[in-house]
Structure 1
Amino acid sequence: MSDTIDVVDFGSQLQFTFGDLRLYSGPRSVGGLAHSFRVMQRVFPVLSPDGPPERREIQVRTAHPGPGVRDGIEFVTRAVVEDRFRHDPQFARTDGGDRMAWWVFEFAYRGRIVTAHARQEFVPEALMRFALLGRKATTDERAQFLAEIEKMSKLVLAARPDEIYDIVEVA
């Protein structure tokens, strides 16, 4: 498997690496960015089995509120600026407690809908505790949070997409 994401844009095939996404998003939200990269790698072949999907036809819904997830998906699909990306807190997972609530992604493309759920081992338990602190976090807690995000990024990028996400094809 190539470690890229391929899409088509106005007849031209585009190929993105994780490094490309990181340049777009910046250094801070690498955990969500890594998940966005791997989930698209997991879902796109199911959505478009005959080749890369048309990037401007992909619709996305997720419960994840973070900028890394949003930035990665936007960079590859342009779904945010073209109003095909929806952050939906009501879409949160109910299995796995607070830790897993955000880690669900729904992609729609040409009549197909695929939902991907991250597996628990790819979402560190400490991550949610730090995320819920938000602006109340101390400097030390923020540093620990960033360390957890970096650790998650490395874990996710070291795994194959099919090891990270369970998928369900809805339609």
Structure 2
Amino acid sequence: MNTINIYDREDLLEISFEDIRKYHGTLAYMAIGVGFRIIQAAFEALYGEEIPNRKDISILSGHGGPGFRDAFEFVTRAQTRGTYTVDTAYPKAQYDPYRPTSYAYVFTRETGEAVEVILKENFLPPVFYEYLKKGREELFTPEEYLHNEQLKQELGNRALQLPINELLEVTKLN
């Protein structure tokens, strides 16, 4: 498993997916797996071989869920620093048929350069959105709850294993 390198002021941090999982737990396992890969893709597109500094990164997230937020926060501290914004009406990657939410994320560095990272539409199966809806309404049967937890685990693991170009679309914005 690869790690993400980032400076926290002068301290070089090496952050693994397992570090993020320990911070977040397993509530939104799919989101922390995808979030980890989103950060990797965004940093590669914005910084190449250069290691970014936390203080230089801002994030616009189209998804307000705790998994993406925690993955981004653990690595960048963007929420703590006030440079994390959620816009569920972001006009791209609106895949959930039951609510406005976007699977698109924009990372911007201190120079103003920005990159948009979008989760590919076919990654999440329709049953994933059904379970999200049921979870909000608390209508899970015990079997559905168990299947949903297994599905989130499988999707998170799959996100960590897929090549970036099969999981995400990355576009430089400027």
TM-score (ref. length: structure 1): 0.89
**Per-residue deviation at 1:148?**
1.6
Cα deviation, residue 162, structure 1: 2.9
Counterparts of 1:29 and 1:42 in 2: how far apart (Å)?
20
* Equivalent pairs, count: 170
1:146 corresponds in structure 2 to: 149
**Counterparts of 1:108-127 in structure 2 under 5 Å?**
108-110=108-110, 111-127=112-128
C-alpha contact 2:105 2:116 (8 A) present in aligned 1: yes
1:106 paired with 2:106, answer yes
Q: Distance in 2 between matches of 1:96 and 1:90?
A: 12
Distance 1:45 1:153, change over 3 A: same
Distance 1:121 1:33 in 2: 18
Unaligned runs of 5+ in 2: none
Q: How far apart in 2 are the matches of 1:152 and 1:125?
A: 13
- Give the 3-state SS of the residue equivalent to 1:105 in structure 2: strand
Q: Which runs of 5+ in 1 are unaligned?
A: none
Which one-letter code corresponds to 2:139 in the other structure?
Answer: A
**Could you say which residue in structure 1 is the equivalent of 2:162?**
159
> Where do 1:22-171 residues align within 5 Å?
22-93=21-92, 96=95, 98=97, 101-110=101-110, 111-133=112-134, 134-140=136-142, 141-171=144-174
Cα RMSD after superposing both structures: 2.0
* Structure 1 CA distance for aligned equivalents of residues 97 and 9 of structure 2: 40
1:110-156 residue CA offsets vs partner (Å, 9 max, x unmatched): 21110011113322221111112213322433333222211111110
User: What is the one-letter code of the residue matched to 1:71?
Assistant: D
Deviation at 1:55?
Answer: 1.2
Structure 1 pair 159–97 and aligned structure 2 pair: CA distance change class (3 A) = same
Please give the alpha-carbon distance, in whole angstroms, between the structure 2 residues aligned to 1:28 and 1:80: 19
Query: Could you say if the C-alpha distance between residues 94 and 37 of structure 1 is closer, same or farther in structure 2, counting changes exceeding 3 Å?
Result: closer
**What secondary structure, in the 3-state scheme, does the structure 1 residue paired with 2:85 have?**
strand
Q: Percent identity?
A: 23
Between the aligned partners of 1:16 and 1:75, the Cα distance in structure 2 is 9
Asked if the contact 1:122/1:155 (under 8 Å) is kept, the reply is no
Q: TM-score with structure 2 length normalisation?
A: 0.88
Q: Which amino acid aligns with 1:155?
A: R
Q: Is the 8 A contact 1:64 1:104 kept in 2?
A: yes
- Cα contact 2:31–2:67 (8 A) shared by 1: yes
